[in-house]
Amino acid sequence: MGKAHAFAYRAALAAFPDIPVPRLEMIADVDQGLAAKAAHQYGFQRSSGHWRDLVNDPNVDVVSITTPNTLHREMALAAIAAGKHVHCEKPLSPSLAHSLEMVDAAEKAGVSTQVGFNYIKNPLLKLARDMIAAGELGEITGFRGIHAEDYMHDPESPYSWRIDPVGGPGVIADLGSHIIGMARFLLGPIAEVTADVRTVVASRPVARGAAERKDVLVDDVARILVNFGRGCGGTIEANWVATGRKMQLGFEISGEKGSLVFSQERLNELLFYKAGGDARTSGYVKIEAGPQHVPYGQFCIAGGHQLGFNDLKTIEIGEFLRGIGEGRVSGPDFREAYEIQKVVEAAIAASRSRSWVKIS
């Protein structure tokens, strides 16, 4: 993620010439050698082997946090205390209470924040949200969402920070936060949930090939039933042991007048079905991303030439910097990340109690 952020800060001005000019001032890594190498590779002016040097430097105005989850809170609070604007990768922190502490600190200090839910920066997802808001699907009747990958499907892959419970829950936070955030982006707040959250791989080796193993205490699969505040229901799945899947982040939204289907595996396509047509010729229409879908044209003047992951990250960073320049929230900010985390925590509680849990 550090590389993705570095790419995005370098590309943001080229795509969005109206934003404040980003100067790549300082980069920090786990030691000075790695930091110096990264500074050379990504074009930063200076480097440090300690993150505190970066957040306390008077020439740094914006801090990006791209570390494992357990470090987010300490780094963010230090940066906020130093008056910096903060971009932090998701999830915001392992603890809901600590996330709220980060929200309160940022809002009290008046700094801008953003959290790395870059998938919703896709111009086709913005189109989908606009179509829903305009009533093109009519009353929404259902949502089916999933984020499934397979990077943890091998039971011999080593125990790591991702499955250390000190860092919070497992896939429901790591991948689930993306599809929960996407659901909220498209349809608004989730009012209540019930869930089945389970561990599939019971233990993992402490290192690749090691005989010693550690018990896995976080979830590998989460299946959630949701009711939205707008009145419709739906399902959400998060799964990092879905063998063969690399990026199945997607949704199907059904409405009285039509439906929309999207998958990050084909992120430049949105499928739209309009009800009521001739039964002989009706079906899903493929909408291909192009310059008519802002800000696609900032990257390429020709439709069908495809945006990619790093372009979405560049859109995210460009919007963040523009928001700082204009003194407004660009989102998703710390507050929205906290709201997403409330759904995660409610789903875990619902799975334990085998009941419906309302989102406060």
Distance CA 27, CA 51 (A): 8
Would you list the domain boundaries of the chain?
2-118, 120-307+330-353
Question: Which residues lie across from 251 on neighbouring strands?
Answer: 145, 262
pTM summary value: 0.96
Residues 223-252 have a mean pLDDT of 98
Half-sphere exposure of 135 (CA within 13 A, CB side): 0
Please report, for residues 5, 109, 127, 158, 327, the alpha-carbon distance to residue 113 in angstroms, rounded to integers and kept in the order given. Answer: 15, 11, 24, 34, 11
- In CATH, which of 3.40.50.300, 3.40.50.12240, 3.40.50.720, 3.30.360.10 is domain 120-307+330-353? 3.30.360.10
Q: DSSP E strands: which ranges in 84-134?
A: 85-88, 113-115
DSSP 162: G
DSSP 295: T
28 confidence band (pLDDT: 50, 70, 90): very high
Query: What phi and psi, each to the nearest 5 degrees, are found at residue 304?
Result: 75, 5
Q: State the Cα torsion 34-32-5-115 to the nearest 10°.
A: 120
pLDDT in tens, 177-215: 999 999 999 999 999 999 999 999 999 999 999 999 999
Task: Please provide the average confidence, as pLDDT, over all residues in the chain.
Answer: 97
The whole-number pLDDT of residue 96 equals 96
Q: DSSP E strands: which ranges in the chain?
A: 26-28, 46-48, 62-65, 85-88, 113-115, 140-148, 190-198, 203-205, 213-215, 221-228, 233-239, 248-255, 258-263, 269-274, 285-288, 357-358
pLDDT in tens, 331-356: 899 999 999 999 999 999 999 999 99
pLDDT in tens, 295-315: 999 999 999 999 999 999 999
Question: Which residues lie across from 285 on neighbouring strands?
Answer: 272
Domain 2-118 CATH class label: alpha beta
Closest CA to 152 of 204, 90, 215, 222: 204
pLDDT in tens, 261-271: 999 999 999 99
Closest CA to 116 of 96, 87, 95, 79: 87
The whole-number pLDDT of residue 108 equals 98
User: Furthest-apart CA pair in the chain: how many Å?
Assistant: 67
